[in-house]
């Protein structure tokens, strides 16, 4: 962990339009929750629908995508990463620092808003809010690592990330049940299922499968990103 | 004494060869890497700065390979050609961050010293995004100098600088060279390199075309056959008089252009010969212009002559 890298990453992430986008998503969730609570009252199905569908299903991957790819992609794109790399520092430290910042963003802009929205919608009943919050936290960590890796590997990281989060996890997962085994969303849900009261949250993946896969995705993603970064080449502009 | 040695290094991208079997040694003092655009200068600098492995051959810093060797950056300062840096920082924050990333014991002091060296203190509290190209170049310099490196690599540092900034940077690099640092900069402008570099390495189309001090390079460039287009009041008579002298190798009467195309092999004698012959024969010279003075043709001659 390198404080300077983390500080530069954070300022890069929050300083530009990306910061506004990161703020807009959770605000939307919270405002919507207030409106629903006022109009429809306290209802378990509605709360689960909002927290699971809009929160965990949409906001968490989008925040992870913006934070994960944004933590490194733009610097590789415009070449300014050279100032981090031309230093006597092991490259994995750069990845770890950036990952910590991306995870921090996921906590602040995804997990925390999920908790607040949950409290507004359903209070603390049946541990529904806690279950979805922990799921959002865990999904945020895994997405951050995965999308950071995408940011190191590809110039089109955002496109790949969207394809994964929207196409694979949502659409493919709906029609091909097997695809859900390789879904951060389902892994996180299976942790949430364990925390909430029985029957409140359900996942298509069992916890003993989900935990190792979460670890592989997070640690493996970070490790691959570090390996790739230490072989990063600058092709000439000629 | 820190030396970069390139030994039979080649680098290709797919089936494009960017650097072809180049060997050179960059010793302390100022070295200019001269060549037209696209000659492979940047590729060479990327290899010397550890951002590209050679496809074959080796690039070493005091005997240790530079690729995947992060410790080499303790000795290397790099000024990249691309302008992008952390635009949202002020000049001070940017140089300070670089000092911190080097793990220096007193990054604040180092940043202060580096900004003073490039005379950028006056603008250090402004955001980098508000800087002119020359100012950005100087802040990039400061970030490369912050750890007092033995080797300084600069990719086209004079691009986009005004004459005053150019002179200032030249002075700075000269000073570093005199201090015994190994300074390498690339440029496609001979005059620039000549003014500054003690030693010049010429690359053309990925090949090492020439190496030596500026006098040697200048001589190589002037000793080659020159082509001239000459128009006069009596082309045929002038041609007859010129071909009698040993400094011309061939003359063509170009009817379409109504001019003489002359190939001269002895530059100095020829430039003295033309006005003298014309005067003696009472011929009026209308045009005397070099026909192929493009840098590329000069360089390709060097490659062919090697």
CA closest to A232 among chain B residues: B51
Question: Does the pLDDT of residue A9 top 90, yes or no?
Answer: yes
Would you state the pLDDT for residue B226? 79
Q: How confident is the model at residue B159 (pLDDT cuts 50, 70, 90)?
A: confident
Instruction: ipTM value, please give it.
Output: 0.91
On whether the CB atoms of residues A205 and A181 are closer than 8 A, the answer is yes
Q: Retrieve residue B176's tokens.
A: 């570093």
In chain B, pLDDT over 90 holds for what percent of residues? 62
Please identify which residue in the block is written with the tokens 């999308």: A147
Nearest chain A Cα distance for residue B73, angstroms: 5
d(CA A192, CA A195): 5
Averaged pLDDT for residues B87-102: 96
Q: Which strand ranges, in their side-by-side order, compose the sheet holding B29-34?
A: B76-79, B151-154, B182-187, B29-34, B199-204, B207-212
Would you state the pLDDT for residue A237? 43
d(CA B303, CA B299): 7
d(CA B51, CA B80): 11
What is the dihedral sign for C-alpha B77, B81, B82, B84?
positive
Return the closest-CA partner of residue B67 out of A95, A234, A222: A234
Contacts of A216 (CB under 8 A, 6+ apart): none
Residues from chain A contacting residue B98 (CB–CB below 8 Å): 83, 87
Ranges A82-96, A126-140, B233-247: which has the least confidence: B233-247
Per the CB < 8 Å rule, is A79 touching B103?
A: no
On whether the CB atoms of residues B235 and B228 are closer than 8 A, the answer is no
pLDDT tens digits, residue range A192-230? 999 999 989 999 999 999 999 999 999 999 999 999 999
d(CA A154, CA A69): 10
Q: Which strand ranges, in their side-by-side order, compose the sheet holding B16-26?
A: B16-26, B4-13, B56-61, B64-65
B291 compared with B60, residue with greater pLDDT: B60
Return the closest-CA partner of residue B101 out of A81, A100, A125: A81
Q: Quickly count: other Cβ atoms within 10 Å of residue B179's Cβ.
A: 11
Q: What is the C-alpha end-to-end distance of chain B, expressed in Å?
A: 30
Q: Quickly count: other Cβ atoms within 10 Å of residue A162's Cβ.
A: 14
Ranges B84-93, B129-138, B207-216: which has the least confidence: B207-216
Return the closest-CA partner of residue A61 out of A158, A200, A131: A158
Question: Does the pLDDT of residue B15 top 50, yes or no?
Answer: yes
d(CA A112, CA A100): 16
pLDDT tens digits, residue range B247-285? 888 899 988 888 999 988 888 888 889 999 999 989 999
Q: How confident is the model at residue A238 (pLDDT cuts 50, 70, 90)?
A: very low
The number of C-alpha atoms within 13 Å of A161 and in the hemisphere containing its C-beta is 30
Chain A residues with CB within 8 Å of chain B CB? 2-5, 7-8, 11-12, 15-16, 78-80, 82-91, 230-238
Residues from chain B contacting residue A231 (CB–CB below 8 Å): 68
Nearest residue, CB atoms, B68 vs list A3, A83, A230: A230
């Amino acid at each position: 962990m390198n404080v300077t890298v983390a500080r530069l990453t954070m300022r890069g992430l929050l300083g530009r339009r990306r910061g506004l986008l990161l703020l807009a998503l959770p605000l939307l969730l919270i405002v919507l929750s207030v409106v629903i609570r006022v109009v429809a009252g306290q209802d378990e199905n509605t709360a689960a629908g909002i927290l699971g569908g809009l929160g965990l299903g949409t906001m968490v991957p989008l925040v992870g995508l913006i934070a994960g790819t944004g933590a490194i992609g733009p610097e590789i794109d415009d070449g300014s990463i050279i100032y981090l790399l031309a230093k006597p520092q092991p490259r994995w430290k750069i990845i770890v620092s950036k990952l910590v910042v991306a995870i921090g963003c996921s906590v602040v802009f995804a997990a925390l808003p999920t908790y607040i929205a949950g409290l507004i919608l359903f209070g603390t009943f049946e541990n529904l809010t806690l279950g979805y919050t922990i799921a959002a936290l865990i999904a945020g960590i895994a997405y951050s690592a995965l999308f950071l890796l995408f940011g190191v590997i590809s110039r089109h990281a955002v496109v790949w990330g969207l394809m994964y989060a929207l196409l694979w996890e949502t659409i493919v997962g709906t029609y091909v049940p097997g695809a859900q085994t390789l879904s951060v969303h389902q892994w996180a849900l299976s942790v949430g299922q364990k925390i909430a009261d029985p029957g409140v949250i359900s996942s298509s993946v069992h916890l003993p499968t989900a935990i190792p896969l979460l670890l592989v995705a997070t640690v493996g993603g970070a490790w691959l990103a570090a390996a790739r970064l230490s072989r990063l080449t600058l092709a000439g502009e000629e | 004494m820190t030396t970069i040695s390139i030994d039979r290094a080649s680098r290709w991208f797919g089936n494009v060869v960017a650097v072809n079997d180049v060997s050179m040694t960059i010793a302390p003092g100022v070295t200019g890497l001269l060549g037209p655009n696209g000659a492979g200068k940047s590729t060479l600098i990327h290899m010397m700065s550890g951002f590209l492995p050679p496809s074959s051959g080796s690039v070493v810093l005091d005997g240790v390979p530079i690729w995947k060797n992060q410790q080499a950056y303790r000795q290397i300062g790099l000024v990249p050609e691309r302008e992008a840096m952390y635009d949202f920082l002020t000049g001070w924050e940017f140089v300070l961050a670089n000092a911190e990333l080097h793990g220096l014991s007193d990054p604040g002091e180092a940043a202060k010293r580096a900004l003073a060296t490039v005379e950028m203190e006056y603008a250090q509290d402004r955001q980098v995004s508000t800087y002119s190209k020359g100012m950005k170049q100087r802040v990039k310099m400061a970030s490369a100098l912050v750890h007092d490196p033995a080797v300084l690599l600069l990719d086209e540092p004079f691009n986009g600088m005004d004459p005053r900034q150019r002179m200032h940077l030249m002075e700075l690099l000269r000073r570093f060279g005199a201090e015994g640092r190994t300074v390498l900069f690339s440029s496609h402008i001979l005059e620039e390199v000549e003014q500054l570099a003690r030693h010049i390495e010429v690359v053309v189309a990925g090949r090492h075309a020439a190496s030596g001090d500026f006098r040697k390079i200048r001589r190589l460039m002037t000793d080659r056959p020159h082509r001239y287009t000459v128009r006069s009041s009596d082309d045929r008579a002038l041609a007859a008089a010129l071909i009698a002298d040993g400094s011309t190798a061939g003359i063509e009467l170009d009817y379409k252009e109504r001019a003489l195309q002359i190939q001269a092999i002895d530059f100095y004698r020829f430039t003295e010969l033309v006005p003298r012959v014309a005067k003696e024969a009472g011929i009026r010279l209308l045009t005397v212009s070099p026909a192929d003075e493009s840098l590329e043709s000069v360089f390709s001659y060097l490659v062919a002559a090697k």
